[in-house]
Amino acid sequence: MKDTKGFTLIEILLVVIIIGILVSLVAPRLAGRSEEARRQAARADIEGGISLALDLYEADNGRYPAKIEDLVAKPGESLNWKGPYLKKGLPKDPWGSHYLYKFPGTQNTAGYDLYSPGPDKQEGTADDIANWETKV
């Protein structure tokens, strides 16, 4: 008799089936988590980094910037600009869109509106992530 070492086709198929079953159980749980992680990252940008930069600009200049680009490039009318306030430039949201900014705000009339159009990339829809919803 010949002494052979290795796996039979049935053993390999059995391992592939077991791996397939495990992936089918774990994948749905991970799929929902990645979208929630993107939403949390957008909230962190809105509540943290960009809002802080806007507040620093306001502290230096006595008012919020007319447009969000003023955080990275000195506007002509700003005498006390001490930027760039965002060292790495203007971030994009986790879905690749630019964050949207309005001053004066229509939702936050005493301040500014800062928001992401969300996964559908459409402004004004239910999936938008905004500073007036997070009480920034």
Q: Is 117 exposed, middle or buried (0-12, 13-18, 19+ CB in 10 A)?
A: buried
pLDDT of 7 above 80: no
Q: Which of 80, 126, 121, 71 is nearest to 101 (CA)?
A: 71
Q: Which of 92, 12, 81 is nearest to 50 (CA)?
A: 92
Structure confidence by residue, pLDDT tens digits, 99-108 = 999 999 899 8
Q: Which of 43, 46, 59, 58 is nearest to 104 (CA)?
A: 58
Structure confidence by residue, pLDDT tens digits, 55-83 = 999 999 999 999 999 999 998 877 889 98
Q: Is the peptide bond before 65 cis (omega within 30 degrees of 0)?
A: no
Mean pLDDT across the chain, nearest whole number? 86
pLDDT of 32 above 70: no
How far is the C-alpha of 132 from the C-alpha of 115, rounded, in Å?
A: 9
Q: Which stretch of 48-52, 66-70, 123-127 has the lowest confidence by average pLDDT?
A: 123-127
